[in-house]
Structure 1
Amino acid sequence: MLIADDLDKLLEILPNFVRIPLQNHPKKSELIEVVMDLGRRPEARFPSNPEYISNQTIDWLDLDYCIKRVGNFSGDNRAGIERTLHRISSVRNREGNIIGLTCRVGRAIFGTIVRT
């Protein structure tokens, strides 16, 4: 079975203080999603448990950094990274400003179909 996740392409859109700990994380291959909410510490979610990956909190510039690398969000507040299965969901405040991002890892799993 082969798993393709293009994880590096997802990590490229993240600010350095979020990206670097994830690149070096021992459970990097199990990463499900990264949550970045304004005023909170970034969180990495794994099947076993979530973990804060930095003591630095997310600010407007961090969110803007990611948004500029993802592109436009659709009417359902979602975007993707071109040529990957990754999905980026945004949370907006009442004024329509993005105040949080959830970056979900998309994985293609090859060799799981049983032929009869």
Structure 2
Amino acid sequence: MNQIQDELKQRSDLQAREDLQTLLSILPAHIRQELEQNGRQDQLLEIVMDLGRTPSARYVDGEVVLSNVEVTAEEIATVEANIGDFDDDNRA
């Protein structure tokens, strides 16, 4: 890679890390702590929080349950209020 490509990749990587930290900061504590402790943020594809189901994280190599505590309406409302709009398939 040339210097410009290297710099763009570094900026992109930094922005992705910052975006992930912002997302983690609005998640319920029990979900955030599990994501932080497992050390796989660089492989994270999505976080699934369905009402009345256990939260999970989808990684490049599979899915992991993040907590045995079911997701509540209040948790979803809090995350939604801080993330913004969702599209037709409930993804932010």
Q: Give the TM bin, normalised by the shorter chain.
A: 0.7 to 0.9
Displaced runs of 4+ in structure 1, greater than 3 A?
Answer: none
What is the CA distance between 1:24 and its match in structure 2?
1.4
More helix by share: 2
Q: CA deviation at 1:30?
A: 1.2
Which residue of the other structure, out of 50, 59, 67, is the alignment partner of 1:37? Answer: 50
- Distance in 2 between residues matched to 1:45 and 1:70, nearest whole Å: 19
Unaligned runs of 5+ in 2: 1-8
User: What is the distance in 2 between the residues matched to 1:36 and 1:52?
Assistant: 11
Q: What TM-score do the two structures reach when normalised by structure 2?
A: 0.74
Q: Name the Cα RMSD after superposition.
A: 1.7
Corresponding residue for 2:74?
61
Q: Distance in 2 between matches of 1:35 and 1:10?
A: 13
Partner deviation per Cα, 1:67-101 (whole Å, 9 max, x = no partner): 12123x2xxx33xxxxxxxxxx62xxxxxxxxxxx
| Farther-moved stretch of structure 1 (61-70 vs 34-43) | 61-70
Among 19, 30, 45, which residue is 1:17 paired with?
30
Query: Within 5 Å, which residues of 2 pair with 1:1-116?
Result: 1-2=9-10, 3-4=13-14, 5=16, 6=18, 7-71=20-84, 73=85, 77-78=86-87, 90=90, 102=91
Question: 1:41, CA displacement in angstroms?
Answer: 0.5
CA distance in 1, matches of 2:26, 2:82: 6
Structure number having the greater strand percentage: 1
Q: Which runs of 5+ in 1 are unaligned?
A: 79-88, 91-101, 104-116
